Amino acid sequence: MPKIVDHEQRKERIAEACWRVILKRGMKGATVRNIAKEAGLSPGSLRHYFSSQGDLYLYAMNLVKERVRKRMEKIAFSPLPAKEKMVRLLSELLPLNTETHAEMEVWLHFIFHFYGKEGAVDGGVRSAIQAIMDGLETYRLLKEGIDKELETERLYALIDGLALHKLLEGGRLSDQKLIEILKSHIDSIVKDERDAGGAGGERIREEDR
């Protein structure tokens, strides 16, 4: 019997091969031929799944975003207290382990490649942070007097800055230091659980993200 091929699974495999090539050779080395070789396919087979190199890049970039989203969704549905949940959610946007470090590095290659070009993909970091802040506001977990829009931009800048510094100066900033900075910032804008009325502080759910 002929082998049944899961086309979506094959596309993800090609996208993962694209990531590996980018990490080893940069965007200039991420040619159809090199990616096909990394994926164990012929260039012709690769073109069966992606009509152009640009289509492959966009798919590979969106797959990074989707993997992060799924991990954050799992955390969002967990019964963690608000502050701990915020730390966990925001940690997924930082290069704190082998997986997230590779994702962030590949993501930066894509960002610079698509910068200023039509069809560029929204990074999604700001929208994720906006959703988290909306959830905090909905459950009245923000401290009194907090300007939500201003704090959304400040947190966005903080996450982007920490991620970039970690990639470029990893020896200076330990994972523990990044978490400490996150916790300190969260403490400055989010109420303590006992001040938030209890149960509401335990749910920043995915439907609010």
Report the pLDDT value the prediction gives residue 118, as an integer from 0 to 100.
62
Nearby residues of 29 by Cβ (< 8 Å), 6 or more positions away: 21, 22
**Contact at 8 Å (CB) between 30 and 38?**
no
Task: Give the confidence band of 104 by pLDDT, cuts at 50, 70, 90.
Answer: very high
**Contact at 8 Å (CB) between 100 and 92?**
yes
Neighbours of 128 (CB within 10 A): 21
Q: Given a cut of 80, is residue 189 above it in pLDDT?
A: yes
Q: For residue 51, which amino acid is it?
A: S
Q: Give alpha helix (H) positions in the chain.
A: 7-25, 32-39, 43-49, 53-76, 82-91, 98-114, 125-138, 148-168, 175-189
Nearby residues of 127 by Cβ (< 8 Å), 6 or more positions away: none
Domain at 1-51, CATH class: mainly alpha
Mean pLDDT rounded to a whole number for the chain: 88
Q: Which two tokens stand for residue 117?
A: 């070009």
Neighbours of 95 (CB within 10 A): 23
Q: Provide CATH 1.10.10.60 ranges for the chain.
A: 1-51
Report the pLDDT value the prediction gives residue 87, as an integer from 0 to 100.
96
Helix (H, G, I), strand (E, B) or coil at 121: coil
φ, ψ (nearest 5 deg) of residue 181: -65, -45
- Of residues 122 and 38, which shows the higher confidence score? 38
**Contact at 8 Å (CB) between 187 and 83?**
yes
Report the pLDDT value the prediction gives residue 116, as an integer from 0 to 100.
74
Q: Provide CATH 1.10.357.10 ranges for the chain.
A: 66-189
Report the pLDDT value the prediction gives residue 122, as an integer from 0 to 100.
63
Q: Assign a CATH topology to domain 66-189.
A: Tetracycline Repressor; domain 2 (1.10.357)
Provide the whole-model pTM.
Answer: 0.83
Report the pLDDT value the prediction gives residue 200, as an integer from 0 to 100.
46
Q: What percentage of the chain carries pLDDT values higher than 90?
A: 78
